[in-house]
Structure 1
Amino acid sequence: MTPAGPALALKRGSSWANAWQRCRTVAPEAFRDDRVLNLWDAAWRADGRVLPATSPVDGTPVTGPPRLDGTTAHRAVRASLDQHRAWRHVPLPERRARVAATLDALARHRELLALLLVWEIGKPWRLAQADVDRAVDGVRWYLDGIDGMLEERSPLDGPVSNIASWNYPMSVLVHAMLVQALAGNAVVAKTPTDGGVACLTLACALAAREGLPLTLVSGTGGELSPALVRAPEIGCVSFVGGRDTGAAVATAVTDLGKRHILEQEGLNTWGIWDFSDWDTLTAVIPRLFDYGKQRCTAYPRFVVQRRLFDAFLTAYLPAVRTLRVGHPLAVDAPDAPYPALDLGPVINAAKAKELHDQVADAVDRGAVPLHRGSAAGARFLPGQDTSAYVQPVTLLNPPRSSPLHHAEPFGPVDTVVLVDTEAELLAAMNASNGALVATVSTDDPATFGRLAPQIRAFKVGHGVPRSRGDRDELFGGHGASWRGAFVGGELLVRAVTRGPAGERLPGNFPDHQLMP
């Protein structure tokens, strides 16, 4: 427990109890007094074993996911196939109208959805609202252009199965589900084990009211994977998560010849070479810590030309010292605006301990601490549980055997590696087997043009961070960071529909494999 700090208070009307009661009022079919329900076969069902859960924000007990067994999950998938066979014949104008009505409902309940994201996964208020807005605005873009995207295309033979990480329930998972349904598919989704069940349940309740063929179930990956990945009824598997789980999913879908979209983490890196625009770098550093770097496109590694290290520190350290950390709902007075924070907690206390242990081990074996944030300046309620909070840390040269050297920490821990040659720069930027994004800051466009193609990342920025992107630009990854079809823009629709015979989708596939 943290000692009593400034006289902060919980924002009026933002308690978990208040949010839960609002869920029960908005969608009583999906929420009971003490649990959420699973949605399958077009009905909300009180099945599954509900496990206890707490909010990473301050340890408040919240409702955990109602975990199904494998047998029930198979029944849910079979029922989804029946929905799929009916939905695929619904005319596109009607599908568009139902998705549009769903978006209107999500927009009406924007504040409640965002508040659930704060409590369940610790998002600061600004980022929680942005997650909801990106889902709604992103799918509206598809509504406007779906006619052209579906020319000479048809739905798959079975529903799309979605297994996603907890960090972006709305702008990644709900966004994908609605586009998949718009394209003519029934949709199955598993709630992430670590958080987001109430937000997803509310979103799916609003969509189900408009007649969208959604299935939402909870359970462990080991228990549900045979149904959600291997079941013959499934037409496509969309996975967002870690490499260990993703590798198992990749093996299964490849063996079965099943269409798939597998986004996995990679060590995204930012290279500094022959560079002088330090004010620009200083300005971008705080944004790179949004949501505590719990993003697939976060940049936890800086690879810096040794002769520029002093200038890099002069630009980097003042910026990282401005980061605002704390309880996302702690305000100076009950009616004050939500606090403007850069990061709240990480996803749970276990993850916080893992990061603390990794940092301590790296320092014990030679890494040099360049920055350690202090809890003294954080915005906490007096006496609150802070076990899921990690203050920003920056280490120089973590040992090569440390996970911080070769893997994504998924938390507010930066590492810096110094290099002397371009070859060393490229080797350090390619430390993991593929990544999603990378950036090179260099004054010379020719240098960027020479280095960028040699970096094993799907998107490489010139002095600017790259992002996932869902509209005009496709998205994918290199190496172990991605398997299967690329998405973004029209490709997200193409990935979950059938085109002309023999079509091969852009993506990372075995050379012999044509998409079915």
Structure 2
Amino acid sequence: MTSTPTPSPAPTPTLTLKPGTAWHDAWNRCLTTAPEAFADDRTRNLWSGTWHQDGRTLPATSPIDGTPLTGPPRLDAPAARQAVRASLDQHRAWRHIPLPERRARVSATLDALTEHRELLALLLVWEIGKPWRLAQADVDRAIDGVRWYVDHSDRLLAGRTPLAGPVSNIASWNYPMSVLVHAMLVQALAGNAVIAKTPTDGGVSCLTLACALAAREGIPLTLVSGSGSELSEPLVRSPEIGCVSFVGGRDTGARIATAVADLGKRHILEQEGLNTWGIWNHTDWPSLTAVIPKLFDYGKQRCTAYPRFVVQRTLFADFLAAYLPAVRSLRTGHPLAVEHPSDPLPVLDFGPLINASKAKELHDQVTEAIDRGAVPLHQGSAAAGRFLPGQDTSAYLHPVTLLNPPPSSPLHHAEPFGPVDTIVLVDTEAELLAAMNASNGALVATLSTDDPATYARLAPQIRAFKTGHGTPRSRGDREELFGGFGGSWRGAFVGGELLVRAVTEGPPGERLPGNFPDYHLMPQV
């Protein structure tokens, strides 16, 4: 009897970098588009309305495959203080520019950003590892969001005046366009000069190009680079600064909060929290399966990611049946790798983490948590990723799901900022609420429950600024408000009209919605 041979698996296609998307292609386009801001081998700092070839450039590499990049030109504290003083001079002139002219200049900037949308997105891919789809979305959200403020500027700015000094922005690397550039242009529209520090971990070229396009239209921006420890004093404590806007972790945020409280300075400090998704008396499992891949966008490297599921114990088997197929379907790999040169860029859920150090840190935390009793429910494999032959993959971490991380693990109480989900099981509503409030405040949360009355009763007890009913919440755009509870936020809330109020002066005695040392005020929705 002749046996039937077992068919061999189909060979894995060999991938190549899509033509025209290499780092040197993007860099050469920057040199052509904004020669005032880019030199042959470095970016420049922008202050006093001029691009300066100052600062010390350190080496940098791309998280997607280790390609050498151009690092930020780091200034020291005295140079940063000079830039701050120059920004105050710009502020004193800009605040008297009539709103129609400010609006026209910001609109022209948005048109220029739109023209160079694909180059800005390609820079985000190389510098911070965003897949092409998400990089384009980051640029588009910045442009579309600021257009909303331009269109509504008469109403939003009625009866309000600019601050006494420029707004200083210190933001994390993960959303250079839709968070940082968006905020900068709205702050300028409101009549303020604007200072921004480039994130240390990535995004300097994208931000340099965006600021070059804005500076050409006369927007009073300052863009400087340097270490956070060295530039914190001039960018936070300088008397010239009218407001400090910060996006980042709780440790740095706490230090800035202490400084601005001592000085009585206006501030917006968005910090991290452990955003949780609760499952209680829930049966709509297809909807949960459908949303899981979206929750992994950009490898959960965002402040509104959901790394913790709090699941009713009796529903755990049903939850896993809905969750595991979805997490196994995630698409990861090199964001610019294609099989054929004419192929479109791949549609991925995420690529690398921001750098190899972060990937190793999370890998070690996962290993330690398992050693101390966490149960691994899913551990992704590099074999499922799309990579170039022989490429550096040290910044990649594939999806991991752990049950019951031990209390001694950072994964138990802190946001991992990577593709690591943790699950805890609960038996009572009290346990559900305690587990969902594990980090003393969060930006967002979600509760999946079939009964609207149960949601209405439990949601107000969840300490998050926004709580979804079976759907994820996010920062939001345009008129949607944004803030945080507890340790996740200090200072004025933002979004919609609140962002304008946070960076302008209103009537005497105005109390801004937000978390302040002497009061907490939620906005009227």
**Shorter chain as normaliser: what TM range?**
over 0.9
Alpha-carbon distance in structure 2 between the residues aligned to 1:342 and 1:471 = 25
Indicate whether 1:469 and 2:476 are aligned: yes
- SS of residue in 2 equivalent to 1:318: helix
Q: Which amino acid aligns with 1:305?
A: Q
Alpha-carbon distance in structure 1 between the residues aligned to 2:71 and 2:479 = 37
For residues 512 and 358 of structure 1, do their structure 2 counterparts lie closer, same or farther at Cα, with a shift above 3 Å needed?
closer
For residues 343 and 397 of structure 1, do their structure 2 counterparts lie closer, same or farther at Cα, with a shift above 3 Å needed?
same
- Equivalent in 329, 338, 355 of residue 331 of structure 1: 338
Superposed counterparts of 1:136-215, under 5 Å: 136-215=143-222
Q: Note the C-alpha offset of 1:390.
A: 0.3
Conserved 8 A contact 1:35-1:66: yes
Q: Note the C-alpha offset of 1:470.
A: 2.8
- SS of residue in 2 equivalent to 1:18: helix
5+ residue gaps in structure 2? 1-10
Tell me what 2:228 maps to: 221
Indicate whether 1:120 and 2:127 are aligned: yes
Q: Deviations over 1:293-335 (max 9, x none)?
A: 0010000000000000000000000000000010000011122
Tell me what 1:52 maps to: 59
Indicate whether 1:237 and 2:240 are aligned: no
Tell me what 2:76 maps to: 69
CA RMSD after TM alignment:
1.0
Q: Does 472-481 or 193-202 show the bigger shift?
A: 472-481
Q: Note the C-alpha offset of 1:232.
A: 0.2
- Equivalent in 505, 511, 515 of residue 518 of structure 2: 511
Conserved 8 A contact 1:6-1:382: no
Tell me what 1:388 maps to: 395
Alpha-carbon distance in structure 2 between the residues aligned to 1:175 and 1:151 = 21
Conserved 8 A contact 2:36-2:51: yes
- Equivalent in 245, 254, 262 of residue 255 of structure 1: 262
Alpha-carbon distance in structure 2 between the residues aligned to 1:124 and 1:6 = 20
Tell me what 2:320 maps to: 313
Conserved 8 A contact 2:513-2:520: no
Indicate whether 1:265 and 2:261 are aligned: no
- SS of residue in 2 equivalent to 1:215: strand
Superposed counterparts of 1:341-420, under 5 Å: 341-420=348-427
Tell me what 1:34 maps to: 41
Q: Note the C-alpha offset of 1:377.
A: 1.4
TM-score, normalization by structure 1: 0.98
TM-score, normalization by structure 2: 0.97
Q: Note the C-alpha offset of 1:63.
A: 0.3
Conserved 8 A contact 1:6-1:381: no
- SS of residue in 2 equivalent to 1:399: coil
- Equivalent in 269, 280, 286 of residue 287 of structure 2: 280
For residues 238 and 354 of structure 1, do their structure 2 counterparts lie closer, same or farther at Cα, with a shift above 3 Å needed?
same
Alpha-carbon distance in structure 2 between the residues aligned to 1:460 and 1:377 = 34
Tell me what 1:131 maps to: 138
Tell me what 1:13 maps to: 20
Conserved 8 A contact 2:514-2:520: no
Q: Which amino acid aligns with 1:234?
A: I
Q: Deviations over 1:10-54 (max 9, x none)?
A: 011000000000000000000001000000011100110100000
Q: Note the C-alpha offset of 1:472.
A: 2.0
- Equivalent in 439, 444, 448 of residue 432 of structure 1: 439
Indicate whether 1:89 and 2:96 are aligned: yes
Alpha-carbon distance in structure 1 between the residues aligned to 2:70 and 2:340 = 28
Indicate whether 1:78 and 2:85 are aligned: yes
- Equivalent in 448, 454, 461 of residue 455 of structure 2: 448
Q: Note the C-alpha offset of 1:5.
A: 6.1
Q: Deviations over 1:411-444 (max 9, x none)?
A: 0000000000000011111110210000000000
Q: Note the C-alpha offset of 1:513.
A: 9.8
Conserved 8 A contact 1:77-1:228: yes
Q: Note the C-alpha offset of 1:471.
A: 1.6
Q: Which amino acid aligns with 1:424?
A: E
Which of structure 1's runs of 4+ aligned residues deviate more than 6 A?
none
Conserved 8 A contact 1:5-1:382: no
Tell me what 2:3 maps to: none
Q: How many equivalent pairs are there?
A: 511
Q: Deviations over 1:317-354 (max 9, x none)?
A: 00000000100000111221010100100000000000
Alpha-carbon distance in structure 2 between the residues aligned to 1:433 and 1:445 = 25
Q: Which amino acid aligns with 1:105?
A: A
Conserved 8 A contact 1:362-1:402: yes
Question: Identity across aligned pairs (percent)?
Answer: 81
5+ residue gaps in structure 1? none
Q: Which amino acid aligns with 2:489?
A: W
Alpha-carbon distance in structure 2 between the residues aligned to 1:474 and 1:510 = 21
Alpha-carbon distance in structure 1 between the residues aligned to 2:440 and 2:356 = 29
Tell me what 1:108 maps to: 115
Q: Note the C-alpha offset of 1:473.
A: 1.8
- SS of residue in 2 equivalent to 1:141: helix
For residues 463 and 292 of structure 1, do their structure 2 counterparts lie closer, same or farther at Cα, with a shift above 3 Å needed?
same
- SS of residue in 1 equivalent to 2:246: strand
- SS of residue in 2 equivalent to 1:327: coil
Conserved 8 A contact 1:5-1:381: no
